[in-house]
Structure 1
Amino acid sequence: MRDHVQALRTLHLQGMADALEAWQADPLNVDRPLSEALAYLIDGHSQRQNQSRADTFFRQAGLATHYSAHTFRANPATGLSSQRMDHLRGLSWIKRGQAVVITGPTNAGKTHLAAGLGHEATVHGLRCVFVRTPAMLDRCLDPDLTIAARRRYQKQLANAPLLIMDDFATEYATTEKTYLLRRLLDDRARRGLPVVVASINAVADWDGYFEDEAAREGIYSRLIDAGCHRVELRRSAPPKTAHRDHKRTRSHVTRCVKAHRSVATP
């Protein structure tokens, strides 16, 4: 059986090799049928593959690995119901090439949700590119890069099965950058490819962040027209119980001190 494990490792089927070793180590598996063993190996390989994809996604995005759809708190306090979250996690919007626009204040969970959707797509075998919009636009126009390098990067953005743009409409975009962004979204729309954007600013406040009006309207038509999933997150307030208890305790102590002083005064 060791030869089988080594053969799997040689074939770079690390997940199956690990699963086979775990299967052998459990004495309860001795009399179980071959079909169960095969199912166990396939499941082990699938889990290993999904984890590898997720690790690659988070590493390339420069994000914490706990940013997943499972760890995002979907409830009325955050502005996203569990039903809508289940719909987004179902990824049907990806198949339809639709956009997801996430807005909300600082610490509302925009990046967490956007990355969580990217993670969900990644473990389902879809390649996902996560970028911060200002840095992406700077790189597309970076004079220190060769024209070929800039074109390769723009092609990667245009062809990614899922593109996530964080920090969208947070820094002023010149006419050149606005046209570049519109062209990118046009290319993706022609291919029927979805996009997720996350912005600290409400959609109604985006106008001031794009210099060219015509290109700006083209961006809007690709992002927020029919078929767009708009999520307006709220920063959930921390529980007030502890604060109130602290104030109540402090008030009680103050009254006790005053009473003690009044008794001690001749």
Structure 2
Amino acid sequence: MMELQTLVEKLKLDYLSDSLDTLCEQASKKDLGYREFLHTALSSEWAGRHQKGLESRLKQARLPWVKSLEQFDYSFQPSVDKKVMRELSGLGFIERAENVVLLGPPGVGKTHLAIALAVKAAEAGHRIMFLSLEKLMTTLKKAQQENRLERQMQLLVYPKLLVLDEIGYLPMNREEASLFFRLVTRRYEKASTILTSNKSFSDWGEIFGDQVIATAILDRLLHHATTVNIKGESYRLKEKRKAGLINSKK
């Protein structure tokens, strides 16, 4: 009969293989039954695979940092509805291929919330990607110049969740607005997008340099979407004020 360790290795149960001796010893001490031991052993393998998959998805996502919803300071930004964020964290919006738009001035936590939802999605097994608008435009224009725009579009449509950060910080020319519109159209009702912007929707014509394109983009983005408006002071200004670098509010 084949040795247990050899059998585990041949079945490619790599994580169970590493912890098999420990698990057998614990099972003996706790006097576990066969079913209980099998459950413990397979749980160990699954946990290892899940963690490796999560680490891989987070690495591919290109997140600038990792944040969680639990780390968000709702007391400093009471305009953020906890109930709405709790519903979004359930990830039903991803299953329905809906979008999330986070609006507010710089420094109020838009990117934190976007990343936190992306991390939740990665934990649930979804492919995610994070790009600033500047990086997105650079990537698409380079692909267009090198005649591989279609391939690049496919790569950007593939993730179940795409986070586009800092919409509105830099204006777009007509070519850039057209590329952005093509991406939004490709993902429409197929996959979810989270956008953060410092501009209200009424100013998006100014961002895209064309009111017609802006309206077409908003029509597709907002057809199935949750909008979160954040009003409040910048976290960065708060920290500077605490450090005495700027005057306190009067």
What's the TM-score, normalizing by structure 1?
0.75
Which structure 1 segments of 5+ residues have no match? 244-266
Q: 1:188 is matched by which residue type in structure 2?
A: R
Inter-partner Cα distance in structure 2 for 1:186 and 1:66: 29
Tell me, in whole angstroms, the C-alpha distance in 2 between the residues paired with 1:38 and 1:71. 36
5 Å-filtered alignment, 1:215-254, equals 215-225=213-223, 227-233=224-230, 234=232, 235=234
SS class of match (2:69) = coil
* Paired residue type of 2:86: D
Give the AA of the match of 2:228.
V
Change (3 A) 1:166 1:46: farther
CA contact (8 A) 1:69 1:119 kept: no
Inter-partner Cα distance in structure 2 for 1:186 and 1:212: 17
Report deviation, 1:142.
0.9
Q: Percent identity?
A: 22
User: Which of 1 and 2 has greater Rg?
Assistant: 1
Q: What SS does the aligned partner of 1:142 have?
A: helix
Distance 1:197 1:209 in 2: 14
Q: Which residue of 1 aligns with 2:168?
A: 169
- Compute the displacement of 1:202 (Å): 3.2
Q: CA deviation at 1:123?
A: 1.6
SS of the aligned residue for 1:172 comes to coil
- Identify the residue that residue 177 of structure 2 maps to in structure 1: 178
Partner of 1:230, secondary structure, is: strand
Could you tell me how far 1:152 is from its partner in structure 2?
1.7
Residue 19 of structure 1 contacts residue 40 of structure 1 at CA under 8 Å; is this kept in 2? no
Q: Deviation string for 1:25-76 (max 9, x for gaps)?
A: 4366551122222322333333333332332333334435541334334457
1:132 CA displacement: 1.4
Normalised to the residue count of structure 2, the TM-score between the two structures is: 0.79
1:229-266 CA-partner distances (Å, limit 9, x unpaired): 11123446859xx89xxxxxxxxxxxxxxxxxxxxxxx
CA positional deviation for 1:219: 0.7
The residue matched to 1:195 in structure 2 has which SS? strand
> Quick check: 1:192 aligned with 2:190?
yes
- Conserved 8 A contact 2:16-2:41: yes
Deviation of 1:95 (Å): 1.6
Distance in 2, matches of 1:27 and 1:181, equals 57
Residues 77 and 108 in structure 2, CA contact (< 8 A), matched pair in contact too? no
Is contact 1:78–1:108 with CA below 8 Å preserved after alignment?
A: no
What is the SS of the residue equivalent to 1:32?
Answer: coil
* Structure-2 separation of matches of 1:163 and 1:197: 8
Matched residue of 1:26: which SS? helix
2:102 touches 2:196 (CA, 8 Å); kept in 1? yes
- Aligned-residue offset at 1:93: 1.0
Separation in 2, partners of 1:170, 1:9 = 53
Cα gap change, 1:62 to 1:183, in 2 (>3 Å)? closer
- Segments of 5+ residues of structure 2 without an aligned counterpart are 244-250
Structure 2 counterparts to residues 30-69 of structure 1, below 5 A: 30-63=30-63, 66-69=66-69
Mapped partners of 2:125, 2:57: distance in 1: 11
Does the 8 Å CA contact 1:55/1:65 hold for their aligned counterparts? no
SS in 2 for 1:126: coil
Q: 1:17 to 1:155 in 2, by over 3 A?
A: same
